[in-house]
Structure 1
Amino acid sequence: MSSSRFLFSNGVLLHTSDVPPVKSFLESHPGAYTTSRTHNNASLLLFCERHMKRLSESIKILSSLAPQLLFKSNNSAILIPTSSTLPIWQPAVQMLVKDSICKVLPVALQQRNDCEELAITTLVSGNLEELNACDTVSEERMVKILDVHLHVETYVPPAFGIRGNGVHLAVVGYGRHVAAAKYSDWVRIRKPLEKLRPPSVTELLLSNDGDQILEGCVTNFFVVCSKECDSNVGKAMCDYGNKYSFEVQTAPITDGVLPGIIRQLVLEVCKTEGIPFREVSPSWSERELWEEAFITNSLRLLQHVDSIQVPTEWHSAHSKTWKDISWTKKQFHVGGPGMITTVIQEKIMKKAILEGYPISNIYAG
């Protein structure tokens, strides 16, 4: 099935043949970004308010800590500030993004098939010329200082819970810089990791020591970990109210992971459902205690893991290719997602409907 692509940038709408794939687009433009999609036959935008808040926070973080990842300039003589106190107003970002969505979505919706959703990537860059041209930054000036690009393409979400539809993971790279913000330069930075990707691997995981697993290149990573190994683990896992038998683990933000939107939803679900969880980086050395694992992001939402593999010799692996690496592998049950993963997935799908923003409201605005 061919993919239709659209790009709305600086008032110009481009369609398929002139629009690069989203990875290529992000590589060529600096800035903060977020990727979401439509849901329920393209009638809703998934977690729209959460995405706008995260996008504004990423802009603020980059502006302060790594302005070179946010600002662009057509004049090489203009220096990127080492630190900027650029104030960010979430309403200003929302206004700019909503205006772009209103212009591109009607066209994109006409081109999609019934089985397709729309993947929507919003990239915001800082314009150095405009920033340096103003003495004070007002909300009105924000419209000129921030460039908003909207990349839209058709997307078919993977079905959940089908045998053989789990993901295969490999731990290959170190944690990212300025992990609290989502920025486009990460697409370029992570490219060298591809030489370490075995052919069957769906997603690459990051670790600073080969043991504590942080996150994926484009996902957050979770395990369902037994608190002790015994013959009753299987029985205890079925009773997820038994807080002494297991816990859901994922790396804390302080370890240097992206504060993903679906990651936060998983933690909220665990809290409301009484599912034990702990923000701690899952340890590969404790993999025998892992009963289930899953990854999350805003396109896939949640996918169960079939297998994970890690280089046997971590410190020498990064100078090699995947064929030259000796791997240690953890295989999960291949029949589909486990009970805890299934419960969390079902609750998140309900939240997707409850927090979905009707596309009709955007047109009405």
Structure 2
Amino acid sequence: MAKKYQVFISSTFEDLKEQRDAVVKAVLQLGHLPVGMEMFNAGDQTQWETIKSYIDSSDYYLVVLAHRYGSVDANGISYTEKEYDYAGEQGIPRLGFVIEKDATWPADQVEAKAKKKLDAFKSKVGSTRVINFWNTTDKLIHHVTFSLSHEIARNPRTGWVRATETPSGSHLAALAGSAIQGTSDDFCYYWPIIHPIVRGIAKPRFENHLYADAVESTFKEITHLIKEAYKRVSGDTRERDGDDLMRKAFSCERDNNTHVLLRAPILYLTDRDLATDSGYSVQLGYMNLFAGAVRGIRNPKAHANIVIDAGEAWEMIVLGSHLMRMWDRGQQYARSLSA
């Protein structure tokens, strides 16, 4: 079975676009799965949780450093360094690629004020087992290709395999014809398709046969993420929850005759134009799905000792995963509107 490994690529943003794109291509050419969260606003606590979930699900971590320290949190620590530290805390192998001191580099991409912090960070990266120095993009890619291949060979990680290539690859098809039954082991090969935040929350509970807890925790986390985003965007400090929260966050209004949008949603659930029938329908349709999931799935699990089997729990977890992907899509669209 050919394994693919998820590789998290970390760097500052503006100064290393070319290099990061080249690293992504190099990882793809090795047959693996690059991920990087630089497109997210890491200063947002919700997005930082998302970044951590992607690191959690990664097999290897690469950091590329030049002459910028990058945006910092309230404690003055850059998010690139936070990602590096977090990956180390999770036991994920870290490979560092630091620009040579005498390499030619644009002066406007040098962050002089943060030099002391950046040098300390580079020293920290240098104290790890794998570090390489580069002065051109080609040399960087050479180091990435060799170092990652070597690390995979000497320290193979969990990785991902296609469900059809596993001994249990036929399980899902066999189970799909009727109400899904089975145990946690029947679903172990399908966690890679689950949204990383949901996977991080539900998987350990599910594998310990805590099926109702896995479902309840999934939908509590979804509610929490939406609640925090709603407060931040709307400025409404009232403690909204459940059905009320979902409708306040996602509802919108348009003129039925002209289709002109009269009131945009506070939070988006689609990347389609809401002035169109499809965009408007998706936004309101998923609003009702979110509201229904909280009312029909989260609340009963939270207020009663309900026992469910692995199959029923899996169906609900898949729904939670899909809702999270729609949430991500809407948030990316909202950021594009404000860019």
What TM bracket, shorter-length normalisation? under 0.3
Compare relative contact order (CA 8 Å, sep 6+) and give the higher one, 1 or 2. Answer: 1
Q: Normalized per residue, which structure has more strand?
A: 1
**Higher helix proportion:** 2
TM-score of the pair, normalised by structure 1: 0.26
Q: TM-score, normalised by structure 2?
A: 0.27
